[in-house]
């Protein structure tokens, strides 16, 4: 009987060893998986966009990006010999640069900086949009849309625009007309013989999709 039990035990051991060998092979097969890869790449570029201005009736366009190289307003006759009740006019145009651009723009006008303490506070101005350079006169300015003040109620030179002007198409100008007035009721003893010195208006633009 002892001999039979030993034989049975040997067979069990051999069966367990065989089972472990089979499990080991199965585990090896499971771990040996296929491998593969997927790659994706991208490249990004910035769009081109810039704001330009013209102060001579759409003839010359420039960047005028800093105050030291500002465009020069070309006001009508009398800007340097103002008398009470006089208004002078100057055309300005804005556009997005003519290079291809996918962006539009909104533009605000900031009030004038610089100038003296006598004549500057006495002056008033208004700005109309949609007025061509040839129509930027007393007779033609009213055909536009008031942007800063009105011709009937001009505002102090330090006032800026309360709303934005939209520039939509690349290279398509928005024309403006500035009107600067020395009011009729001003005290001549304060402003006579005065010079404002250099005044600087700033158009500030922001790109839009």
- Strand blocks (E) in the chain: 51-54, 86-96, 104-114, 124-129, 145-148, 155-156, 165-167, 174-182, 199-208
DSSP 26-49: HHHHHHS-------------PPP-
> Taking Cα atoms as reference points, which of 75, 86, 150 lies closest to residue 119?
86
What CA–CA distance (Å, rounded) separates 173 from 96? 8
Return the H-helix or E-strand segment holding 125: strand 124-129
33-86, pLDDT tens digit by residue? 899 999 999 998 877 788 999 999 999 999 999 999 999 999 999 999 999 999
DSSP annotation of 148 reads: E
What CA–CA distance (Å, rounded) separates 9 from 70? 105
DSSP annotation of 133 reads: G
Q: How confident is the model at residue 171 (pLDDT cuts 50, 70, 90)?
A: confident
What six digits make up the tokens of 22? 């089979």
110 in Cβ contact with 160 (< 8 Å): yes
Average the pLDDT over 4-30 and give the result: 54
What six digits make up the tokens of 112? 């004038």
91-137, pLDDT tens digit by residue? 999 998 877 677 888 999 999 999 999 999 999 999 999 999 999 99
What CA–CA distance (Å, rounded) separates 36 from 153? 75
The answer to whether the predicted template modeling score (pTM) of the entire model surpasses 0.75 is: yes
């Amino acid at each position: 009987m002892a001999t039979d039990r030993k034989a049975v035990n040997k067979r069990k051991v051999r069966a367990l060893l065989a089972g472990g060998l089979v499990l080991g092979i199965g585990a090896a097969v499971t771990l040996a998986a296929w491998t593969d890869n997927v790659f994706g790449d991208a490249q990004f570029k910035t769009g081109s966009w810039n704001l330009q201005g013209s102060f001579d009736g759409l003839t010359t366009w420039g960047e005028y990006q800093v105050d030291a190289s500002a465009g020069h307003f070309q006001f009508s006759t009398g800007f340097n010999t103002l008398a009470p009740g006089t208004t002078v006019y100057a055309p300005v145009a804005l556009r997005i640069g003519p290079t291809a651009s996918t962006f539009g723009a909104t533009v605000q006008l900031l009030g004038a900086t610089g100038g003296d303490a006598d004549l500057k506070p006495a002056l008033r101005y208004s700005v109309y949009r949609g007025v061509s350079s040839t129509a930027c006169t007393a007779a033609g300015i009213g055909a536009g849309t008031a942007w800063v003040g009105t011709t009937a109620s001009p505002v102090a030179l330090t006032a800026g625009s309360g709303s934005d002007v939209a520039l939509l198409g690349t290279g398509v100008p928005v024309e403006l007309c500035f009107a600067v007035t020395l009011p009729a009721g001003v005290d001549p003893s304060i402003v006579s013989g005065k010079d404002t010195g250099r005044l600087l208006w700033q158009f500030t633009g922001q790109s839009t999709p």
